[in-house]
Amino acid sequence: MTPVEFYESVARLTGLSNEEAERVTKSTLLALADRLPGDEADEVAAQLPWPMKDWLTGRARSQPAEFGADELIQRVEERTGLAHDRADAAVRAVMSTLRSTIAGEFDDMLAQLPEEFARLAA
């Protein structure tokens, strides 16, 4: 899947413009990069096109930050300026598109996160 196809999928699922979909995709992946162990972020990134792979791997971290699904949504809300409900829907759309893009690796990624993240991928 190309970046444009990814953003179009997110836009279709949320009603956002493609530009807004790109912004929420970037915000979601940056938040996931903070939360995932580096090796898992690298494995997910390996299956994504540029620039998305850079959003997952371009952040230096020794330990993943510990936060839950609600904080991930809040981080996206703060980075994008979307209202909470729209940020929640946008994160779910990114996660859904990510699942269809990286298939089996998505389940491996979820296994590295607290169980509450599964609700974002439902």
Q: What is the pLDDT of residues 11-20, one digit of tens each?
A: 999 999 999 9
* Residue 120 one-letter amino acid: L
Task: Identify the pLDDT of residue 104.
Answer: 85
Domain that holds residue 54: 3-121
pTM of the model: 0.94
- The encoded tokens of residue 52 equal 């998305």
Average pLDDT of every residue of the chain: 93
Task: Identify the pLDDT of residue 61.
Answer: 64
Residue 70 CA, distance from chain mean position: 13
Residues in the chain: 122
Task: Identify the pLDDT of residue 59.
Answer: 66
Integer Cα distance of 18 and 114 in angstroms: 30
* Residue 98 one-letter amino acid: L
**Measured distance between the N- and C-terminal CA atoms of the chain, rounded to whole angstroms:** 21
The domain that contains 39 carries what CATH number? 1.10.490.110
Structurally, the chain folds into a number of domains equal to 1
Integer Cα distance of 80 and 71 in angstroms: 14
